[in-house]
Structure 1
Amino acid sequence: MGKDKGEYSFSTCWNIKRHPIGSGMIDEIRELGFRYVELNYNVTEQLLETIEPMIEHGKIGVSSVHNTFPHVPDPDYGTDSVLLGFEDAERRNKAIDLLVRSAEYAHRYGAKAVVVHPGEVPFEHNIDHELKGIYHEHGVDSPAYRSRWQEMLERREALSGTYLRRIGDSLEEACDRIAAKGWDVSLGIETRSRCYQMPTLREARKVFDRLPDAPVGLWYDFGHGMMMERMGLYDNAADIELIKDRVVGIHIHETVGLSDHYCPYVHSGDMAYFDRFLPIIAAAPVKVYELKAACKPEEIEASHDLLLQKLAGLGA
């Protein structure tokens, strides 16, 4: 049994593919010492049949659920989608309905937040995949990368305002509906892992300025932030100041190169870079590890111990 992880939560993305029965998945996470879980977007209604009694009996707490929840097999409403920014009113209304449904489950389980991938600037093909290939083959400073990156950025910047406005409209409507129900649930728009996806930290700030009193904040995914910084989309250290007052939750993991969901400090061997996120970790209302299946229990334990040592050094 791992040491008690206190307020820290753990995402089911780590072991969901290993468990056909939900209670077994939760028991394995409890063995790591976690009292709370984030139920991710692959959790089905069938898995919930054995998880819900555990929640009801206090065997596990739920920190957050990840939209769209429970699992929706339609990729239009999945994690890599235009979602809250759809131009088509019918599709966007369905996306809002599904977000409100996720908030209803969060409320039912006593969770504080819903993690939301709000949208993207659509491209004809997966330009992020192409750019990451050039990045690995030729490097971020190569002419091939710089020229393709510039093409991506021009389209992204030309269209992002329109998509951001629609995302803001959708979030406003969802928040009004959640408030009318009296649910105390925040919506956290997540920093993303592909360069055409939204929001950047600066885009997130625009949403918050538009909705100053709404329960909408940033879900700061550190690994994704590291990837986007390496690719050239934004600078975490410079932009943290813009959003630190609106962080509702965090995904704790680290990126090695452009591969994410590793244990901080342990897998990269870098004892300094991740430190920039420590003040955000200390202050975040909801703290969730989001690790890949390859992370072993002993690595998770070692990483958490290092993180606590670092936070103690901050006086956090």
Structure 2
Amino acid sequence: MEDKGMFSFSTCWNIKRHSIGSEMLREIRDLGFQRVELNYNVTKEMLETIEPMLERGEMGISSVHNTFPHVQDSDYGTDSVLLGFEDEEKRQRAIELLIGSAKYAQRYGGEAVVVHPGEVPFPNDISKELEQIYNGEGRDSNAYRSKWAELMERREAYSAGYVQKIIESLDEVCNRAVSEGINVRFGIETRSKPQQIPTLAEAKMIIKALKGAPVGIWYDTGHAIMMDRLGLYDSVGEMEGLMDDIVGVHIHETIGLSDHWCPYVNSGNMKFYDAYLPMIERARVKVYELKAACQPEEIDESHQLLMAKLARRGQV
């Protein structure tokens, strides 16, 4: 398949099929990608075979996804309070892990670290309940409106405290990065569950509070589409004021509330995803983050469509 240029590709697509890191990267290279994003499931054992490939220049790294490499402890997993922990020991541990991810990114020539900042914790899996009601009865149903009100009441009551903790943590991370000569950017990612931080308004608040620091938004297009559909924010309209702060993008489309599909090809809709092309244009780091179900020929077709659309906009 033809060279995909500076576009990168996340290992989330094939990591479950491989135990040997070099084989995982070679499969991605066969798709035409010269750069990869190493996601949070990449283990230290996988790095033993990946690092020689990087040293030989066989592949490049665009970014790594915190926490990297893989950490078994769910307290520091992708769906946790992470940088928002009130417990100081846990918060400091989260900071150390993020610094560690940044060191790996720099060591591998990466430009950025993808960061899940945190969430407002719930005693129940409210996002799962909302998804079930959304798929079964619809967003306009009384059941959905009632459950959504429950979510927003708790979210609005507690989010400010968690956002403040996240700001403090990122400030510490950036100060440490400067003092240790780490020159990568931190992209706070739009998330896939409505209790998770940030909303686009929260992202603006965090970035403004850290003005001058290497912190911006990592605009995950598929997650943003999901949050728009659930009613958390306007994924296109609320990007105003954030366009200059896009560190990177995760490129994938959402069908209903199912994400990580190839844009245009899997949905069959040739226009809907066009609204997210400006974000892709503005991002320095452009990463496809696709699920294992996406086939090589679909990935290639999706990329060709995306490139043609970007070319028509006068920029690639």
- Residue aligned with 1:10, SS: strand
Distance 2:221 2:241 in 1: 15
**After TM superposition, what 4+ stretches of structure 1 lie above 6 angstroms from structure 2?**
none
- Residue aligned with 2:241, SS: helix
Name the structure 2 match of 1:188: 187
Name the structure 1 match of 2:134: 135
Name the structure 1 match of 2:240: 241
Q: Any residues of structure 2 matched to 1:298-309 within 5 Å, and which?
A: 298-309=297-308
Assess if the C-alpha contact under 8 Å between 1:202 and 1:242 holds in 2.
Answer: no
Q: Any residues of structure 2 matched to 1:1-316 within 5 Å, and which?
A: 2-316=1-315
- Residue aligned with 2:242, SS: helix
Shift of 1:276: 1.1
- Residue aligned with 1:291, SS: coil
Distance 1:71 1:247 in 2: 25
Scaled by the length of structure 2, the TM-score of the pair is 0.99
- Residue aligned with 2:110, SS: coil
AA matched with 1:230: R
| Structure 1 unaligned regions, length at least 5 | none
Query: Which region of structure 1 is more displaced relative to structure 2, 40-49 or 278-287?
Result: 278-287
Distance 2:43 2:19 in 1: 10
Distance 1:242 1:196 in 2: 23
AA matched with 2:22: S
Question: What is the total number of aligned residue pairs between the two structures?
Answer: 315
- Residue aligned with 1:50, SS: helix
Summarize deviations over 1:99-145 as a string: whole Å, max 9, x none. 00000000100100000101000000110000000001100100100
Shift of 1:280: 1.3
Query: Which region of structure 1 is more displaced relative to structure 2, 220-229 or 269-278?
Result: 269-278
Assess if the C-alpha contact under 8 Å between 1:67 and 1:116 holds in 2.
Answer: yes
Shift of 1:242: 2.4
Assess if the C-alpha contact under 8 Å between 1:201 and 1:242 holds in 2.
Answer: no
Shift of 1:269: 1.1
Shift of 1:5: 0.3
Shift of 1:277: 1.0
AA matched with 2:194: C
Distance 1:310 1:19 in 2: 33
- Residue aligned with 1:64, SS: strand
AA matched with 1:76: D
- Residue aligned with 2:277, SS: helix
Assess if the C-alpha contact under 8 Å between 2:243 and 2:279 holds in 1.
Answer: yes
Assess if the C-alpha contact under 8 Å between 2:244 and 2:282 holds in 1.
Answer: no
AA matched with 1:118: P
- Residue aligned with 1:271, SS: coil
Assess if the C-alpha contact under 8 Å between 2:64 and 2:113 holds in 1.
Answer: yes
Distance 2:167 2:125 in 1: 25
Distance 1:7 1:115 in 2: 18
AA matched with 1:163: Y
Distance 1:193 1:228 in 2: 7
- Residue aligned with 2:236, SS: helix
AA matched with 2:119: E
AA matched with 1:284: A
Assess if the C-alpha contact under 8 Å between 2:38 and 2:61 holds in 1.
Answer: yes
Distance 1:26 1:194 in 2: 29
